[in-house]
Amino acid sequence: MISTRLVVAALLIALAGCGGKSDQPAAPPPTPVSFIVLREQPVSLSTELPGRTAPFETSDVRPQVDGLIQARLFTEGDMVRAGQPLYRIDAAPYQARVASARAALARARAAIASSAALARRYGELVKINAIARQEYENSQTSAAQARADVAAQIAALRSAEIDLARTTIRAPIAGRIGRSVFTTGALVTASQTDALATIQRLDPIYVDIQQPSADLLRLREQMMAGQVTGGGTARVRLLLESGSAYPQEATLRFADVTVDPTTGTQTIRAVAPNPAGLLLPGMFVRAVLPQGTQARALLVPQRAVGRDDRGHATAMVVGAGNKAEQRVLTTVRTQGDDWIVTAGVKPGDRVIVEGGMLLRPGSQVNPQPLGAKPAPASAQQQGR
């Protein structure tokens, strides 16, 4: 009777053991992930900033004499050369002034001849006391006044000739001329505020770049700390509004010494060649400026970096025993598709780039170098 009870109990224990094993879930396989190994490397720092193009030279074409416009001598939108005639103003009044000034000069030259002869004759007579000395001095004064009148009439003639030449309005600079605000028959004056047209020199062309003063200050602090060395170059790459790269490099000209208090930015001016006229004034561009070299930088791909609940940058790394570990990163700036990291990871760490978005800290992973072919399932099972 006792032996029968022992057999039944043994059977119940065996059945209970078998049922417990079948109810227990199997452990999930390790999550396949791809990683990169961090290494310190020199990085050429650059920054991408917004900018606007501006003409290299600008000149408003204005009249310098009064009159009616008789003709426009250019085509709107064309390239003009310096000194090229642009407008012709009615010259008849100024031709008359030139003729009047020439006649007055001839009269003054005739008067100087007679007054000079009278002064010489009185000079001989005063020596023998034939005339009063006062009359001799008056003759000398008349001769001097005649010579002064000639000089004044020469100046008046020159002024009249200048005004006559100004009836043909010429281009002060070479460049592309815009639309004509005034048409043939319009009355213009030398003191008017409206320009007849505007000429802009577009080759080369200025690019005014706005850089935040905080970024510039941070860069200077890094240079003073020895973390970044100087860029040693004044070349700037330009990106157009379409996203394409401008085929020619610009050259830095100067940086403004003041910071705009309203925007907190500093203006940097560059000069870009523009032989094809692709860049127009007021166009928006992005400028890529070299800023220096960081000799020992750690680069973490941006796609490997996430954010925690507090907004801190985080990344998953392959830790001991192929378990995922979360690290809080200190990022200073982007460089291309990477973050430059100064804390949170160290050289040699394996940062998970692919497959880590849904991982939790402590999860078992099956790491593979980024770009390597995944191991076959049989090999993975053997590894486990």
pLDDT on residue 27: 65
Distance between CA atoms of 306 and 298, rounded to whole angstroms?
A: 17
pLDDT on residue 222: 57
Distance between CA atoms of 230 and 372, rounded to whole angstroms?
A: 38
One domain, residues 189 and 263: no
- Whether 12 is in a domain gets the answer no
**Confidence band for 382, pLDDT divided at 50, 70 and 90:** very low
pLDDT on residue 223: 59
pLDDT on residue 308: 84
One domain, residues 127 and 241: no
Which residue range(s) make up the domain with 183? Answer: 66-90+167-194
**Confidence band for 6, pLDDT divided at 50, 70 and 90:** very low
One domain, residues 116 and 102: yes
Domain boundary among 244, 277, 295: 295
- Of 126-135, 151-160, 244-253, the least confident: 126-135
Q: Work out the percent of the chain whose per-residue pLDDT is above 70.
A: 80
One domain, residues 97 and 147: yes
SS3 content of the chain, % helix, strand, coil (to 5): 30, 35, 35
Report which residue type is found at 374: P
One domain, residues 82 and 183: yes
**Interval 86-99 mean pLDDT:** 95
- Of 129-138, 245-254, 273-282, the least confident: 129-138
CATH number at residue 244: 2.40.30.170
3-state class of 22 per DSSP?
A: helix
Report which residue type is found at 5: R
For residue 354, pLDDT over 70 is answered with: yes
CATH number at residue 71: 2.40.50.100
pLDDT on residue 15: 47
pLDDT on residue 205: 94
Q: Scan for tokens 């004499």, then name that residue.
A: 65
pLDDT on residue 358: 77
- Whether 150 is in a domain gets the answer yes
One domain, residues 241 and 275: yes
Average predicted confidence (pLDDT) for the chain? 82
One domain, residues 217 and 231: yes
Domain boundary among 295, 315, 340: 295
pLDDT on residue 56: 94
**Confidence band for 110, pLDDT divided at 50, 70 and 90:** confident
pLDDT tens-digit profile of 59-90? 999 999 999 999 999 999 999 999 999 999 99
One domain, residues 284 and 220: yes
Total domains, the chain: 4
What is the model's pTM?
A: 0.63
pLDDT on residue 1: 46
- Whether 270 is in a domain gets the answer yes
Give 289 or 183, the one with higher predicted confidence.
183
pLDDT on residue 118: 67
pLDDT on residue 366: 85
Tokens of 327: 């690290």
- Whether 10 is in a domain gets the answer no
Give 197 or 376, the one with higher predicted confidence.
197
pLDDT on residue 142: 72
**Confidence band for 186, pLDDT divided at 50, 70 and 90:** very high
Phi-psi region of 156 (alpha: psi -120 to 50; beta: other; left: phi over 0): alpha
pLDDT on residue 84: 95
**Confidence band for 221, pLDDT divided at 50, 70 and 90:** low
**Interval 7-31 mean pLDDT:** 57
- Residue 368's DSSP bridge partners are 34
pLDDT on residue 379: 44
Tokens of 38: 């961090």
CATH number at residue 107: 1.10.287.470
pLDDT tens-digit profile of 126-141? 667 767 777 767 777 7
Pairing mode, strands 41-61 and 85-89: unpaired
Query: Cα Rg for the chain, rounded, in angstroms?
Result: 45
- Of 20-34, 58-72, 100-114, 336-350, the least confident: 20-34
One domain, residues 291 and 303: no
- Whether 6 is in a domain gets the answer no
One domain, residues 208 and 291: yes
- Whether 26 is in a domain gets the answer no
